[in-house]
Amino acid sequence: MKQVHGAAVIDPARAGPDAEADGAVTRSPGCVCAVMTADCLPILLSERAGRAAGIAHAGWRGLAGGIVESVARAMEVPAEDLIAYLGPGIGARRYEVGEEVRKAFVDGDPGARTCFAPHRDGKYFADLYAIARRRLAAAGVTEIYGGEFCTASDERFFSFRRDRATGRMASLVWLEDE
């Protein structure tokens, strides 16, 4: 799929190669859902019973636009039956943003203020992991793992913010054949 920093979700078994989306969901064993990232968060979701799996490419635009909620809804299972994993993304002390990004979250969720730390010259450090956890929790997902890697400060990972010209990491999720 062509990632566009939005909230559209596809079923990879039915989508064409030019599909524009930032989320994918499958209920078909062996069908792989994938996203490519280099600072944005890959968010992997699975239903506990293993009947559905999904993935989200979650940068600030996607998070503000509802990609987490869109993927959770597209899975068509109760949110309390979902497990989430937050893959490597830019860390809270490395992701500098302007007021417009902060406003995109705080206007709809005043509690999101805690996800932004004042930095300098009207800029903030944004904690994408904390924002993603808030969005998942608001969607009803209570079991959330991961979120401990910073792509910008850890040389093992690709980081657009750190290197500008860089590769991408693939995150994959699928259902096993029974």
Check residue 96 and give its pLDDT. Answer: 97
Amino acid identity, position 41: L
Domains of the chain from N-terminus onward: 9-173 (3.60.140.10)
pLDDT in tens, 23-40: 999 999 999 999 999 999
| Helix ranges restricted to H, 28-98 | 60-65, 67-74
Question: What would the pLDDT profile of 119-177 be if each residue is shown by its tens digit?
Answer: 999 999 999 999 999 999 999 999 999 999 999 999 999 999 999 999 999 999 999 98
Secondary structure (DSSP) of 79-115: GGGEEEEE-SB--TTT-EE-HHHHHHHHTT-GGGGGG
Q: State the maximum Cα–Cα separation within the chain, in Å, rounded to a whole number.
A: 55
pLDDT of amino acid 94: 96
Q: Is residue 135 packed enough to be buried (19+ CB in 10 Å), middle (13-18) or exposed (0-12)?
A: buried
Q: What are the structure tokens assigned to 90, written together?
A: 């830019």
Q: What is the pLDDT of residues 1-18, one digit of tens each?
A: 999 999 999 999 999 989
pLDDT digits (tens, 9 = 90+) for 76-99: 999 999 999 999 999 999 999 999
**Given pLDDT bands bounded at 50, 70 and 90, which one contains residue 59?**
very high
pTM for the full predicted model: 0.96
